[in-house]
Amino acid sequence: QQQVKQSPQSLIVQKGGISIINCAYENTAFDYFPWYQQFPGKGPALLIAIRPDVSEKKEGRFTISFNKSAKQFSLHIMDSQPGDSATYFCAATKAAGNKLTFGGGTRVLVKP
Amino acid sequence: ETGVTQSPTHLIKTRGQQVTLRCSSQSGHNTVSWYQQALGQGPQFIFQYYREEENGRGNFPPRFSGLQFPNYSSELNVNALELDDSALYLCASSPGASPSYEQYFGPGTRLTVT
């Protein structure tokens, strides 16, 4: 059972454009939602995370929007740069157990 | 501050063999989790260790086992390797006196089973 569904699988955006990645979850016990960035041959790097008590969190060019009632959250990458070309994973976890449940990933290509 | 390190970087094994992968957690981190990432997919949770005890396990068979040592480093052992075990194995460590939300990943070990 895929508890976190991520879309799209891939996207291409022009330099300076906005990349938007969406995730939906099923388990209402999840209470922490991180996004990870992964470059080829590397491990995932924690990018930004949100708790369900806030609807938006911004760090630099990266913004998470969270809709608790819809059980959805999204990552916006503003002013996308070629260096942002990577695979992005959303994830979710709950306090007990602490295992991360990942989405399937979105491969982002930023064209110069 | 040293990040999470893993060894070896790459490994090629034959079906039926056994393999041990190693992880050194980030300084001050006492929780280690292991994940399997198949090509083109998101990481899947294998198990977690907290203060040398297993603290949760995902949907993986018993031939996947682990250890955590007093210095919080960890090993993942896989017996009777199968072709489907070919994947990137990731170790992640978490800070604090008790398990926390944030997990920091190492670069992974690429295992190929032929």
Q: pLDDT tens-digit profile of B38-59?
A: 999 999 999 999 888 998 899 9
The confidence band for B98, taking pLDDT boundaries of 50, 70 and 90, is: low
The confidence band for B10, taking pLDDT boundaries of 50, 70 and 90, is: very high
- What's the average model confidence in pLDDT over A55-75? 96
Predicted confidence (pLDDT) per residue in A4-24, tens digit? 999 999 999 999 999 999 999
Chain A partners within 8 Å of B101 (Cβ): 32, 34, 49, 93, 95, 98
d(CA B112, CA B47): 21
Flag whether residue A101 sits within 8 Å of chain B, measured between CB atoms.
yes
d(CA A92, CA A50): 10
Cβ distance B108 to A49 less than 8 Å, yes or no, reads no
The confidence band for A107, taking pLDDT boundaries of 50, 70 and 90, is: very high
Mean pLDDT of chain A: 93
More confident call, B74 vs A95: B74
- CA-wise closest residue to B33 among A16, A100, A110, A18: A100
Beta-bridge partner residues of A74 = A22, A65
Judge whether residue B1 has pLDDT over 90.
Answer: no
- What's the average model confidence in pLDDT over A101-111? 97
The confidence band for B100, taking pLDDT boundaries of 50, 70 and 90, is: low
Nearest-by-Cβ selection for B90 from A41, A43, A49: A43
The continuous run of DSSP H or E covering A35 comes out as strand A33-38
Cβ distance B108 to A43 less than 8 Å, yes or no, reads yes
Cβ distance B105 to A43 less than 8 Å, yes or no, reads yes
Judge whether residue A78 has pLDDT over 90.
Answer: yes
Judge whether residue A53 has pLDDT over 70.
Answer: yes
